[in-house]
Structure 1
Amino acid sequence: MKIQDMNWLQLEQQVKKDDRCILPIGSVEQHAYLSLATDMVLAEKVAIDAAAGLGIPVFPVLAYGLASSFEAYPGTLSLSLSTYLGVIRDLMDSLYRSGFRRILVVNGHGGNAPATTIISEWLNLHPDASVKFHDWWRAPRTWAKVMELDPAASHASWMENFPWTRTNDPAQPQSAKTQIDFAALARVGAAKKRELLGDGNFHGLYQRADDDMHAIWAVAVDETRGLLESDWH
Structure 2
Amino acid sequence: MKIADMNWMQVEERVSEEDRCILPIGSVEQHAYLSLATDMILAEKVSLDAAEPLGIPVFPVVPYGLASSFATFPGTMTLSLSTYIAVIRDLLDSMYRSGFRRILVVNGHGGNLPATVVISEWLNAHPDASVKFHDWWRAPKTLAKVQEVDPAASHASWMENFPWTRTTDQRQPMTPKPKIDFAAMARVGAAGKRKLLGDGNYHGLYQRPDDDMLAIWDVAVSETRELLENDWH
Would you call these one fold, judging by a TM-score over 0.5?
A: yes
1:2 aligns with 2:8: no
The 5 A counterparts of 1:59-98 are 59-98=59-98
CA distance in 2 between counterparts of 1:100 and 1:146 reads 33
Offset at residue 55 of structure 1 (A): 1.2
Offset at residue 53 of structure 1 (A): 1.8
CA distance in 1 between counterparts of 2:52 and 2:216 reads 18
Q: 1:45 matched to which residue of 2? A: 45
Unpaired runs of at least 5, structure 1: none
CA distance in 1 between counterparts of 2:88 and 2:18 reads 22
Q: 1:210 matched to which residue of 2? A: 210
Q: 1:224 matched to which residue of 2? A: 224
CA distance in 1 between counterparts of 2:25 and 2:171 reads 29
Q: 2:134 matched to which residue of 1? A: 134
SS in 2 for 1:61: coil
Q: 2:146 matched to which residue of 1? A: 146
Q: 2:125 matched to which residue of 1? A: 125
The one-letter code sitting in structure 2 at the alignment partner of 1:99 is G
CA distance in 1 between counterparts of 2:127 and 2:57 reads 22
CA distance in 2 between counterparts of 1:221 and 1:137 reads 10
Q: Alignment length, in residue pairs?
A: 233
- Give deviations 1:100-132, integer Å, cap 9, x for gaps: 000000000000000000110000000000000
The one-letter code sitting in structure 1 at the alignment partner of 2:145 is K
Q: 1:190 matched to which residue of 2? A: 190
SS in 2 for 1:53: helix
Q: 1:32 matched to which residue of 2? A: 32
Offset at residue 171 of structure 1 (A): 1.0
CA distance in 1 between counterparts of 2:143 and 2:152 reads 12
Detail structure 1 runs of 4+ shifted over 6 Å in the superposition.
none
- Give deviations 1:61-87, integer Å, cap 9, x for gaps: 000000000001000000000000000
Offset at residue 91 of structure 1 (A): 0.1
Identity of aligned residues (%): 79
- Give deviations 1:146-174, integer Å, cap 9, x for gaps: 00000000000000000000001111111
Please report the TM-score for the alignment, with normalisation by the length of structure 1.
1.00
CA distance in 1 between counterparts of 2:72 and 2:39 reads 18
- Give deviations 1:31-80, integer Å, cap 9, x for gaps: 00000000000000000000012111000000000000000100000000
Unpaired runs of at least 5, structure 2: none
Q: 2:101 matched to which residue of 1? A: 101
CA RMSD in angstroms, aligned pairs only: 0.3
CA distance in 2 between counterparts of 1:156 and 1:90 reads 30
SS in 2 for 1:52: helix
